[in-house]
A and B are shown apart, each in its own frame.
Chain A
Amino acid sequence: EVQLVESGGGLIQPGGSLRLSCAASGFSVSSSFMTWVRQAPGKGLEWVSVIYTGGNTYYADSVKGRFTVSRDNSKNTLSLQLNSLRDEDTAVYYCVRVPSGGYHYGMDVWGQGTTVTVFS
């Protein structure tokens, strides 16, 4: 079964750091674009970052310079390092697969989400 399971969310003060992890099963993270999408409480969806099959990364302007996406092909996991956290980073963070054919085919597998709460 193709599945994504996130972990690592929690309560953190502004300026703090957190590392989110996403364990993939049923497919290889190295063969797909892997993205992070977040959703603030009661709000819509916001794309955060992507790591392409070649290893290139891209970030939303709102997190550029603060967040870092990476993957471990041997463990088949994706990670998102969150630094210099702000109140507005409070959200559910979803790990999401984009099929190897690219975004044209949509984001077809979503994790259950992990909650990050930044509180002062």
Chain B
Amino acid sequence: DIQMTQSPSSLSASVGDRVSITCRASQIINIRLNWYQQKPGKAPQLLIYAASSLQSGVPSRFSGSGSGTDFALTISGLQPEDFATYYCQQSYTNPVTFGGGTKVEI
């Protein structure tokens, strides 16, 4: 199985900050990398697919980058509603696997 490693596992930030979360795959996955946001008690929501494509309806302050094994999710200008946990997920091969999550806290 492909292992997905996110860092950091948590971070503290302020409204307006630029925040980056990284995700590393244990083998090359090209751009088969998706990002999700999950708020407490809610289902995850798709933010970014194919490493850098913004899902419809997602604010443009969210962006994704990377290919191969190293990826990043960047939030430019953190908003109060962005405090949540973020997960990366590889879609290169079965079984689909997720990173351990990054909790973004105030």
The number of chain B residues with a CB under 8 A from chain A is: 23
A47-B49 in contact given A106-B34, A108-B55 (Cβ < 8 Å): no
Contact of A47 among B43, B46, B98, B99 (CB under 8 A): B98
CA of A108 to CA of B55, assembled, Å: 8
> Could you count the A-B residue pairs with CB atoms below 8 Å apart for me: how many are there?
60
Whether the pair A110, B43 counts as a contact (CB closer than 8 A) is: yes
Contact of A104 among B32, B98, B101 (CB under 8 A): B32
CA of A113 to CA of B44, assembled, Å: 10
- The answer to whether the Cβ of B69 comes within 8 Å of any Cβ in the partner chain is no
- The answer to whether the Cβ of B10 comes within 8 Å of any Cβ in the partner chain is no
Interface positions of A from 7 to 44, Cβ below 8 Å from B: 35, 44
Q: Which residue of A lies closest to B56 (CB)?
A: A108
Whether the pair B97, A47 counts as a contact (CB closer than 8 A) is: yes
Q: Shortest beta-carbon distance, B64 to chain A, in Å?
A: 11
CA of A102 to CA of B34, assembled, Å: 12
- The answer to whether the Cβ of B59 comes within 8 Å of any Cβ in the partner chain is no
The number of chain A residues with a CB under 8 A from chain B is: 21
Whether the pair A106, B49 counts as a contact (CB closer than 8 A) is: yes
CA of A1 to CA of B98, assembled, Å: 28
Q: Which residue of A lies closest to B96 (CB)?
A: A47
Whether the pair B32, A45 counts as a contact (CB closer than 8 A) is: no
- The answer to whether the Cβ of A112 comes within 8 Å of any Cβ in the partner chain is yes
Whether the pair A44, B95 counts as a contact (CB closer than 8 A) is: no
- The answer to whether the Cβ of B94 comes within 8 Å of any Cβ in the partner chain is yes
Question: Which residues of chain B are within 8 angstroms of A106 by Cβ–Cβ distance?
Answer: 34, 36, 46, 48-50, 55, 89, 91
Q: Shortest beta-carbon distance, B25 to chain A, in Å?
A: 14
Whether the pair B100, A44 counts as a contact (CB closer than 8 A) is: yes
Whether the pair A94, B98 counts as a contact (CB closer than 8 A) is: no
Q: Beyond A58-B94, A108-B55: 10 further Cβ-contacts under 8 Å?
A: A35-B96, A45-B36, A45-B38, A45-B89, A46-B98, A103-B96, A104-B32, A104-B91, A106-B46, A106-B50
